[in-house]
């Protein structure tokens, strides 16, 4: 039997017919690791069958964590904690030691979560995706019918809220869109110019940039910027309103959540995005004109005249026509993700991220769909 | 160290000004080891502000606050960090971390500030939950899935994680139904009696005052206007105290059903 030096926090001492486990000093949470080592050194396992007794006469203090450590070590050594006697404890120390012993049975220690296997997590993801699509579909229905109700009865429309949303989603997005599209125009014209100049086909750069800009680049990029900006904002706003019960309050006051919150947002985006696409097209062309003038010897007036000659107006209209469709999807995704956050702060972050990802994917899918549709229609 | 006569908390001449408003005009009070004291007062008398000053979240304009022998507002950062491990605080709505489950909420202070032997953490967390009167099954739930009463218990379990010597509670029973609130009171009494924790409660709950507190401290007009056991405080001749206790027609301390 090992007997530790007297300075240590615990030692074993044989006594007539029993073994005393003598605790001394401070048994507290801050010393837990050291105490665990000292208990380990005692080799309690060798005491199975012996009549073990805890002695607390030299104990200065003990807390519940240290008491748990003792009982746990005793139980792990194969000794039944219930059969261990106590002696020499002060009243308050005994109470803590007994308290923890009584509760020892409840403390299973939770099971570690099993690692999900690949197939079942894939299945669960697919199921979630399906549920999400259904959710968006039903929300789209709600939004469209609320929109229709508002359009047939313009008095139900919240003009103030609509204007506030227009200013947030549209007006305040103009600077960033202008900057981004101008630079995109510069880059595209530069890349086309590098190739075209080799064949002396400088003037065709204008054709290519103009077609690409008004029909594809501007609607796509502006929609992506707006999805990241306003789609995310819709989710965060509505989600926070849900957390703070504001949405329930709106319902309780007899107001229609759709008319107060959803319609202004959806309508503002559907009206605002085409305007932003127009701004984006103009600035993109301006950026291209700058490169054409400085690199390809095409003056601004030649640039404009060439666009006037060769760019058919249908390209511009197709580009513009995509915008409201993109806007409808972005705003419906943003609102529906916002209305379905669960009641904790983390899910606002999760849903906002998800809104941005979903709306960007939706915009790109829709754009591809438009490309195929236009080709089939011969436009 | 655990001398029962040693004051756990000592406030001397605490003055608080927020803007031009004088909240506290010289608050003095002491709290002794192992007692449950309640801090009451009308709204706007700065109960919660005082609590925030005691735990070092808000600086008083003047006066000294000694908590567990440390001058909170003269202590170094390291001293304050060490002090923070020795008291627990229960915020009004629990302030549980909503992205972590209950067990992880309780485990957070243990992981950060204690060296728990491997394999023992889960058991220790369960012990905290059990001491706070929660089933260990609640450990795997998210705070949003808990009822108000359970949320408060989970918050108590987190506040108890590091074996605090003092526990501060801000309106622990507000928003709870009377039955849950009384069970919560008994839990506090148990923590105080069996674990020897000193408790300071900011409360409006008369039943809490009458059943479990050893002492009631009344704040009013920026000062402590009464300080003593409930039956003494009731006798104090002050209009606010009188109307406060008149809400309940008959006051028999300790006579509420268990």
A305-343 per-position pLDDT tens digit: 999 999 899 999 999 999 999 999 999 999 999 999 887
The span from the CA of B209 to the CA of B185, in Å, is: 9
How much is the pTM? 0.67
The span from the CA of B128 to the CA of B192, in Å, is: 15
pLDDT score of A368 more than 90: yes
CB pairs under 8 A between A and B: 78
The span from the CA of B105 to the CA of B156, in Å, is: 11
Give every residue of chain B whose pLDDT is below 70, as ranges. 1-5, 248-258
Are B120 and A28 within 8 A, CB to CB? no
> Among candidates B38, B29, B35, which has minimal Cα distance to B9?
B29
pLDDT digits (tens, 9 = 90+) for A160-185: 999 999 999 999 999 999 999 999 99
Q: Does B79 touch chain A (CB under 8 A)?
A: no
> Among candidates B217, B214, B213, which has minimal Cα distance to B227?
B217
Give the residue from chain B lying closest to A349, CA to CA. B99
Collect all residues with Cβ–Cβ distance below 8 Å to A104 and sequence separation of at least 6. Answer: A68, A71, A72, A75, A81
Are B124 and A68 within 8 A, CB to CB? yes
Q: Does B96 touch chain A (CB under 8 A)?
A: no
- The reported pLDDT for the residue numbered B48 is 85
Q: Does A109 touch chain B (CB under 8 A)?
A: yes
Residues from chain A contacting residue B96 (CB–CB below 8 Å): none
H or E element that contains B80: helix B77-84
Of A209-213, A273-277, B56-60, minimum mean pLDDT range? B56-60
Residues from chain B contacting residue A240 (CB–CB below 8 Å): none
- The reported pLDDT for the residue numbered A3 is 45
Residues from chain B contacting residue A108 (CB–CB below 8 Å): 126, 136
CA angle A44, A47, A49 (to 5 degrees): 140
- The reported pLDDT for the residue numbered A110 is 54
pLDDT digits (tens, 9 = 90+) for B57-102: 888 888 888 888 888 888 888 888 888 888 888 888 778 888 788 8
CB of A322 closer than 8 Å to CB of A133: no
Tell me the three state secondary structure of residue A77.
Answer: coil
pLDDT digits (tens, 9 = 90+) for A59-109: 888 888 888 888 888 888 888 888 888 888 888 888 888 888 888 887 775
Q: What are the structure tokens assigned to A172, written together?
A: 């305040």
- The reported pLDDT for the residue numbered B248 is 64
Are A33 and B115 within 8 A, CB to CB? yes
pLDDT digits (tens, 9 = 90+) for A233-266: 999 999 999 988 898 898 888 888 888 899 999 9
Token look-up 């849900």 returns A242
The span from the CA of B197 to the CA of B10, in Å, is: 16
- The reported pLDDT for the residue numbered B1 is 44
What distances in angstroms separate CA A22 from CA A8, A80, B189, one per listed residue? 10, 18, 31
State the average pLDDT for chain A.
88
Give the residue from chain A lying closest to B165, CA to CA. A63
Of B119, B144, B163, the CB nearest to A65: B163
Are A108 and B2 within 8 A, CB to CB? no
Collect all residues with Cβ–Cβ distance below 8 Å to A266 and sequence separation of at least 6. Answer: A143, A147, A327, A328, A331, A332, A335
Give the residue from chain B lying closest to A68, CA to CA. B124
The span from the CA of A267 to the CA of A162, in Å, is: 7
Of A29, A68, A106, the CB nearest to B136: A106
The span from the CA of A39 to the CA of A34, in Å, is: 9
């Amino acid at each position: 039997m090992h007997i530790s030096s007297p300075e240590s926090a615990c030692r074993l001492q044989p006594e007539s017919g029993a073994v005393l486990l003598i605790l001394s000093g401070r048994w507290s949470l801050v010393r837990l690791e050291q105490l665990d080592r000292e208990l380990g050194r005692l080799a309690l396992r060798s005491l199975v069958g012996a009549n073990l007794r805890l002695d607390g006469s030299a104990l200065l203090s003990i807390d519940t964590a240290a008491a748990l450590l003792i009982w746990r070590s005793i139980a792990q050594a194969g000794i039944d904690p219930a059969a261990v006697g106590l002696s020499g404890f002060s009243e308050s120390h005994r109470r803590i030691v007994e308290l923890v012993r009584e509760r020892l049975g409840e403390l299973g220690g939770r099971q570690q979560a099993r690692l999900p296997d690949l197939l079942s997590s894939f299945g669960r993801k697919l199921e979630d995706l399906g549920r999400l699509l259904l959710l968006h579909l039903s929300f789209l229905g709600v939004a469209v019918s609320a929109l229709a109700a508002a359009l047939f009865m313009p008095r139900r429309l919240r003009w103030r809220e609509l204007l506030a949303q227009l200013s947030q989603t549209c007006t305040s997005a103009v600077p960033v869109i202008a900057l981004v599209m101008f630079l995109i125009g510069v880059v595209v014209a530069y890349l086309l110019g590098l190739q075209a100049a080799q064949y002396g086909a400088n003037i065709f750069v204008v054709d290519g940039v103009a077609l690409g800009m008004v029909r594809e680049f501007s609607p796509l990029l502006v929609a992506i910027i707006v999805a990241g900006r306003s789609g995310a904002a819709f989710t965060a706003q509505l989600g926070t309103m849900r957390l703070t019960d504001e949405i329930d309050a709106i319902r309780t006051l007899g107001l229609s959540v759709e008319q107060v919150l959803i319609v202004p947002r959806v309508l503002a985006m559907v009206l605002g995005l085409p305007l932003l696409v127009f701004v984006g097209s103009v600035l993109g062309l301006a950026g291209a004109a700058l490169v054409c003038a400085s690199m390809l010897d095409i003056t601004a007036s030649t640039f404009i005249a060439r666009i006037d000659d060769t760019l058919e107006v249908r390209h511009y209209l197709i580009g513009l026509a995509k915008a409201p469709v993109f806007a409808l999807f972005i705003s419906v995704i943003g609102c529906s993700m916002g209305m379905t956050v669960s009641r904790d702060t983390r899910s606002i972050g999760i849903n906002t991220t998800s809104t941005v990802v979903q709306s960007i994917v939706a915009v790109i899918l829709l754009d591809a769909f438009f490309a195929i549709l236009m080709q089939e229609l011969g436009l | 160290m655990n001398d029962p006569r040693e004051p756990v908390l000592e406030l001397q001449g605490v003055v608080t000004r927020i803007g031009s408003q004088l909240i506290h005009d010289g608050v003095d009070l002491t709290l002794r080891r192992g007692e449950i004291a309640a801090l009451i007062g009308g709204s706007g008398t700065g109960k919660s502000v005082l609590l925030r000053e005691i735990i070092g979240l808000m600086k008083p304009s003047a006066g000294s606050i000694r908590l567990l022998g440390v001058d909170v507002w003269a202590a170094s950062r390291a001293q304050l960090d060490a002090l923070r491990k020795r008291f627990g605080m229960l915020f009004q709505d629990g302030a549980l971390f909503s992205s972590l489950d209950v067990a992880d909420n309780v485990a957070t202070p243990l992981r950060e500030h204690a060296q728990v032997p491997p394999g023992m953490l889960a058991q220790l967390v369960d012990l905290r939950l059990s001491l706070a009167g929660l089933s260990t099954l609640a450990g795997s739930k998210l705070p949003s899935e808990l009822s108000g009463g359970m949320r408060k218990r989970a918050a108590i379990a987190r506040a108890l994680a590091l074996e605090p010597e003092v526990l501060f509670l801000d309106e622990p029973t507000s928003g709870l139904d009377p039955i849950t609130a009384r069970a919560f009171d008994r839990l506090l009494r148990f923590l105080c009696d069996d674990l020897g924790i000193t408790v300071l409660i900011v409360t409006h709950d008369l039943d809490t005052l009458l059943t479990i507190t050893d002492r009631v401290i009344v704040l009013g007009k920026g000062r402590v206007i009464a300080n003593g056991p409930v039956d003494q405080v009731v006798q104090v001749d002050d209009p606010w105290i009188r109307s406060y206790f008149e809400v309940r027609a008959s006051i028999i301390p300790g006579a509420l059903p268990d």
